[in-house]
Amino acid sequence: MIPAWLEIGSLAVMVLVIVGDLVLAYRRPHLPSARESGMWIGFYVSLALAFAVLLFFVSGADSAGQFIAGWLTEYSLSIDNLFVFVIIMARFAVPKQLQQQVLLIGIIIALVLRGVFILLGAALIQNFSWIFYIFGAFLLYTAVQQLFSSSNETEETESGVIRFLRKRIPITTHFDGSRLTTEVDGKRSFTPILVVFIALGTTDLVFALDSIPAIFGITQDAFIVFAANLFALMGLRQLYFLLGNLINKLVYLSYGIAAILAFIAVKLILHALHENEVPFLNGGHAVDWAPEIGTLTSLIVIVVAMALAVGASLIRLRIDRGRSKKSDAA
């Protein structure tokens, strides 16, 4: 059981960190270097690990392990968001010096929307244990979709969202710094930055449809679920600048994400069987042979799946570069 003072205190600290980050982004609009992005990622990773250590001493190893596994899961699944971030920034031609501010506001919007999703998910789980069957089936479907989707399909989908926003919201064709509105021919109009905020927040909400059920497969504690999402998303902005176009070259990343989703789907279904209340399955009684997959096992599977996917992608990238050099030499 996590004490209330820890929940309130840690959320207050993270709000202060987010506000501080927001102030810095708006007072010093610039394109961060790889070194700066790496330092910020290190800061947020250290903050997450420090929080896990605090959970370990205050609430026990199980809570700390659930947070670490949930955080890594959300971080892994959120990497998918980077593809969309790149597309949105390109489609709206967001000036590089404004991209930090835009991403941070979009991520804050996403956090608020995910908070609502998490509260709804926690309420459903508490009242309807059979919801785990639905979550599991949905994650299996999403895992299969990951295997057969491509970045081009993601780009086409995202372009449709952007076209919808452009048609429905009157905006200018140019940015006016970081302002939401500007004056054109004596009339106030929205700048493209508002639509970018909406696009980033709402598209992240679409990604939350698989990431939120996935983390509920690791822990049913709503506070840990939200904390894991918060730490994962707050490090995502710097990861965007650090990886840049490299994210499009991680060709096997979708396989790692699919493996994680499929594993958690199986875990959710086994948990549902273990807690079974559905009358047409085993007479509404728990299925005794259904094992519970522990947090440590989940953690190992998540780390190994992502390490193999990223490692294989980097090896493929090196091989392709070698072939390209040989082709140019010939």
Compute and round to an integer the Cα radius of gyration of the chain: 21
Give the CB-side neighbour count of residue 24, counting CA atoms within 13 A.
Answer: 12
Residue 67: the pLDDT is 92
Residue 286: the pLDDT is 66
Residue 246: the pLDDT is 65
Q: How many angstroms separate the CA atoms of 191 and 179, rounded?
A: 7
Residue 52: the pLDDT is 92
Q: How many angstroms separate the CA atoms of 73 and 219, rounded?
A: 12
Q: How many angstroms separate the CA atoms of 330 and 327, rounded?
A: 5
- Residue 128 sits at φ, ψ, to 5 deg, of -135, 95
Write the CA distances from 92 to 159, 172, 305, integer angstroms: 10, 11, 34
pTM: 0.73
Q: How many angstroms separate the CA atoms of 283 and 184, rounded?
A: 68
Q: How many angstroms separate the CA atoms of 47 and 255, rounded?
A: 29
Instruction: Give the contacts of 136 (CB within 8 A, at least 6 positions apart).
Output: 217, 265, 266, 267, 268, 269, 272
- What is the torsional sign of CA 63, 65, 68, 73? negative
> Residue 31's closest CA among 233, 242, 194, 174?
242
Residue 49: the pLDDT is 92
Residue 128: the pLDDT is 75
Q: Residue 240: enclosing H or E segment and its boundaries?
A: helix 236-243
**Paired tokens of 216:** 């509920």
CB atoms within 10 A of CB 280: 6
The rounded Cα 262 to chain-centroid distance in angstroms is: 17
Q: Residue 189: enclosing H or E segment and its boundaries?
A: strand 187-190
Low-confidence spans in the chain with pLDDT less than 50? 151-158
Residue 154: the pLDDT is 46
